[in-house]
Amino acid sequence: MVSSEQVERNRQELQALADRLYSELYEWRAKHPEASLDQIAAQVTPRRRRLMGEWIAQLACQDGNGTVVEGISCPHCGQPLVYKGDAPRQQEHLEGEIELKRAYCYCPACQEGIFPPR
In angstroms, rounded to a whole number, what is the distance separating the alpha carbons of residues 51 and 30? 22
Express each pLDDT in 36-91 by its tens digit: 999 999 999 999 999 998 898 888 777 655 555 567 788 889 888 888 887 777 87
Q: What's the total number of domains in the chain?
A: 1
Q: CA torsion sign, 52 to 56 to 62 to 65?
A: negative
Structural domain boundaries, residue 88: 4-114
- pTM score over 0.75: no
Let me know: does 84 contact 113? Beta carbons within 8 Å.
yes
Other beta carbons within 10 angstroms of residue 28's beta carbon come to 15
Measure the N-to-C terminal CA separation of the chain; round to a whole number of Å.
Answer: 9
